[in-house]
Amino acid sequence: MAEHGQAGAVADPIAGSPVYPGGSRVNERGHLEIAGCDVVELAEEFGTPAYIYAEADMRARARAYRSAFESSRGGYEVLFASKSLPCTAAYRLFAEEGLSVDVASGGELHMALQAGFDPARIHMHGNNKSDEEILFAARSGVGHLILDSFDEIERCERLLEAPQDVLIRVTPGIKPSTHTYVQTGQLDSKFGFGLEDGLAAKAIERVLASDLLNLTGLHAHIGSQIFELEPYTLAIRALGELAGGWCRIVNVGGGLGIAYTAEDEPPSVEAYAEVKLRGVAEVFGEDVRVLVEPGRSLVGNAGVTAYRVGTVKEIPSIRTYVAVDGGMSDNLRPMLYGSRYEALIADRAAESAGSPATIAGMHCESGDIIVRDAMLASPAVGDVLVTPATGAYGYAMASNYNGVPRPPVLFCRDGDARVVVRRETYEDLTARDV
Ligand SMILES: Cc1ncc(COP(=O)(O)O)c(C=O)c1O
């Protein structure tokens, strides 16, 4: 019986959900559909586990970011924080959408270049860049190196063969309410130069005196999965004490939170952009170029993971474990941060959830629990189980723990699915052994 609307119409719990990719729905067969693709059929065709993305949704999010920052008088760049989904198809997609990119290692730089990113739109992070990485970045012609330590400043001066535009990463002493592992703006941090201890001011003085390092601005990323906007304003105000005529660019980081579950209500991209643009204009002036580095909010809700249920174990009066064919090797976030996810049986996507079940992975760890007490519709062996909002930092942090080949990445559009990263094979697992 439908809960809303006319009698006979089935309520669709997926359409319009902020947790699932835009355009997702329950189809006529009662299956979860993403970008026009039936997820039960995708599981059959491509196997499980699989990361499934809605391409149009990623593009829409990139466009929303660009239009939200368009009013910046001094100009803007939206950088795809590629650590969130480091595969060439994603780099290529965001390059096509006119985004720039933030890379945090030589490997990410390699992928961005392979995908055809204009080097001038690549900005290189890292709290411990190696000599090789610095040279690779500089010789590739990256837009900026983001300097993170005095050792790196010295290393750059020793290595660089030509002047290089740089930003200085500052830890402005602001702690947003998020998991401590993803707070990065506090003084006690491995990243950047502190404000309170005066090291940021010293770094600026040092770099301004350099012939090879061309300081164009400042960078601050205070953390991830942030739902409040006030900490950004505070961070920008704090940076203001370093402002000078040389500061033509302010990179205000990423960090906008996303809905992992229906209870999460993150601010809109528009509200986030407004706060960052207003903050920079007030503190640094209207003509400063604003850079922003979203990762999670570009790809997190654009992707889901599909698993196959292998066992259902009921422990009377205790709990029911539903074990799937993946786990901490494809989504480390629940174990690393205690992150909550939703789950759904894709075969019966419109059915109301019955009783709680704990979704366990297949790894040799009791802590390999993907969702504790998920509400599922009568889970059974052979069902396709989906966890939404796994588009960011899932594939990125995947491992071969227990010799598990990493899942493929599928991009779906208008009912067609294409493999953009193939599933690993057992041969891949021994390919590097010598
Ligand atoms: C320097 C920097 N910029 C941007 C990001 C992206 O953050 P988010 O995915 O929360 O937007 C991160 C995440 O770790 C980061 O460290």
* Residues in the chain, total: 434
Whether the CB-CB separation of 174 and 231 falls below 8 Å is answered with yes
| 13 part of a folded domain | no
Tokens representing residue 15 in the block? 């359409």
**What is the atom index within ligand 1 of the atom nearest the CA of 84?**
9
Residues 293 and 306 in one domain: no
Residues 289 and 310 in one domain: no
Whether the CB-CB separation of 299 and 90 falls below 8 Å is answered with yes
* Cα 81 to middle of ligand 1, angstroms: 6
* Residue burial 68-83, b: 16+ Cβ < 10 Å; e: rest: bbeebebebbbbbbbb
Q: Is 81 in the pocket of ligand 1 (CB under 6 A)?
A: yes
- Whole-number percent of the chain with pLDDT over 70: 96
Across the strands, what pairs with 359? 322, 371
Residues 148 and 256 in one domain: yes
* Cα 222 to middle of ligand 1, angstroms: 9
Q: Is 297 in the pocket of ligand 1 (CB under 6 A)?
A: yes
Question: Distance between CA atoms of 217 and 132, rounded to whole angstroms?
Answer: 24
Across the strands, what pairs with 79? 100
Domain count, the chain: 2
| 124 part of a folded domain | yes
Tokens representing residue 242 in the block? 């370093």
Question: Distance between CA atoms of 152 and 158, rounded to whole angstroms?
Answer: 10
Residue nearest ligand 1's atom 16 by CA: 221
Identify the CATH number of the domain in which residue 214 sits.
3.20.20.10
| 7 part of a folded domain | no
Identify the CATH number of the domain in which residue 353 sits.
2.40.37.10
* Domain edge (last residue) among 299, 315, 339: 299
Give 334-346 pLDDT, tens digit per residue.
999 999 999 999 9
Is residue 237 over pLDDT 80? yes
Q: How confident is the model at residue 185 (pLDDT cuts 50, 70, 90)?
A: low
* Domain edge (last residue) among 299, 334, 352: 299
Mean pLDDT, the chain, integer: 95
Residues 96 and 158 in one domain: yes
Question: Distance between CA atoms of 377 and 343, rounded to whole angstroms?
Answer: 10
Q: Is 169 in the pocket of ligand 1 (CB under 6 A)?
A: no
Q: Nearest Cα to 134, choosing from 86, 98, 166, 91?
A: 166
Q: Is 185 in the pocket of ligand 1 (CB under 6 A)?
A: no
Question: Distance between CA atoms of 19 and 27, rounded to whole angstroms?
Answer: 18
Is residue 113 over pLDDT 50? yes
Residues 108 and 203 in one domain: yes
Dihedral sign (CA 177, 181, 183, 188): positive
Residues 6+ apart with CB under 8 A from 401: 328, 329, 363
Question: Distance between CA atoms of 418 and 396, rounded to whole angstroms?
Answer: 19
CA–CA distances in Å: residue 281 to residues 256, 284, 285, 286: 20, 5, 4, 5
Q: Is 176 in the pocket of ligand 1 (CB under 6 A)?
A: no
Q: Cα(first)–Cα(last) distance of the chain, in Å?
A: 61
Residues 338 and 375 in one domain: yes
* Cα 244 to middle of ligand 1, angstroms: 26
Q: How confident is the model at residue 403 (pLDDT cuts 50, 70, 90)?
A: very high
| 217 part of a folded domain | yes
Residues 147 and 271 in one domain: yes
Compute how many other C-beta atoms are within 10 angstroms of the C-beta atom of residue 237.
14
Burial class (CB in 10 A: 0-12, 13-18, 19+), 267: middle
| 2 part of a folded domain | no
* Cα 254 to middle of ligand 1, angstroms: 5
Residues 163 and 235 in one domain: yes
| 278 part of a folded domain | yes
Is residue 3 over pLDDT 80? no
Question: Distance between CA atoms of 24 and 297, rounded to whole angstroms?
Answer: 17
Residues 291 and 340 in one domain: no
Question: Distance between CA atoms of 84 and 393, rounded to whole angstroms?
Answer: 5
Compute how many other C-beta atoms are within 10 angstroms of the C-beta atom of residue 313.
12
Predicted local distance difference test score (pLDDT) of residue 383:
98
Q: Which of 102, 193, 336 gets mutated to test ligand 1 (max ligand atoms within 8 A of its CB)?
A: 102
Is residue 74 over pLDDT 60? yes
Q: How confident is the model at residue 128 (pLDDT cuts 50, 70, 90)?
A: very high
Q: How confident is the model at residue 329 (pLDDT cuts 50, 70, 90)?
A: very high
| β-strand pairing of 409-413 with 50-54 | parallel
Residue nearest ligand 1's atom 13 by CA: 224
Residues 166 and 283 in one domain: yes
Is residue 412 over pLDDT 90? yes
Give 346-391 pLDDT, tens digit per residue.
999 999 888 899 999 999 999 999 999 999 999 999 999 999 999 9
Question: Distance between CA atoms of 260 and 204, rounded to whole angstroms?
Answer: 39
* Cα 403 to middle of ligand 1, angstroms: 29
Whether the CB-CB separation of 271 and 64 falls below 8 Å is answered with no
Q: How confident is the model at residue 29 (pLDDT cuts 50, 70, 90)?
A: very high
Q: Is 374 in the pocket of ligand 1 (CB under 6 A)?
A: no
Is residue 138 over pLDDT 90? yes
DSSP-assigned states of every residue in 381-411 = TT-EEEEES-SSSSGGG---GGGPPPPPEEE
* Residue 364 designated active-site: yes
Per-residue pLDDT, averaged over 148-159, amounts to 97
* Domain edge (last residue) among 299, 322, 355: 299
Residues 132 and 264 in one domain: yes
Q: How confident is the model at residue 10 (pLDDT cuts 50, 70, 90)?
A: low
Question: Distance between CA atoms of 9 and 313, rounded to whole angstroms?
Answer: 34
| 65 part of a folded domain | no
3-state secondary structure of 16: coil
Q: Is 266 in the pocket of ligand 1 (CB under 6 A)?
A: no
Residues 415 and 382 in one domain: yes
| 63 part of a folded domain | no
Predicted local distance difference test score (pLDDT) of residue 183:
67
Q: Is 125 in the pocket of ligand 1 (CB under 6 A)?
A: yes
Q: How confident is the model at residue 181 (pLDDT cuts 50, 70, 90)?
A: low
* Cα 210 to middle of ligand 1, angstroms: 28
Predicted local distance difference test score (pLDDT) of residue 286:
95
Which residue matches tokens 């105000």?
Answer: 237
Whether the CB-CB separation of 101 and 82 falls below 8 Å is answered with yes
Range of the domain at 45: 25-54+302-430
Torsion of CA 254, 72, 54, 117, to 10 degrees: -80
Is residue 174 over pLDDT 80? yes
Q: How confident is the model at residue 186 (pLDDT cuts 50, 70, 90)?
A: confident
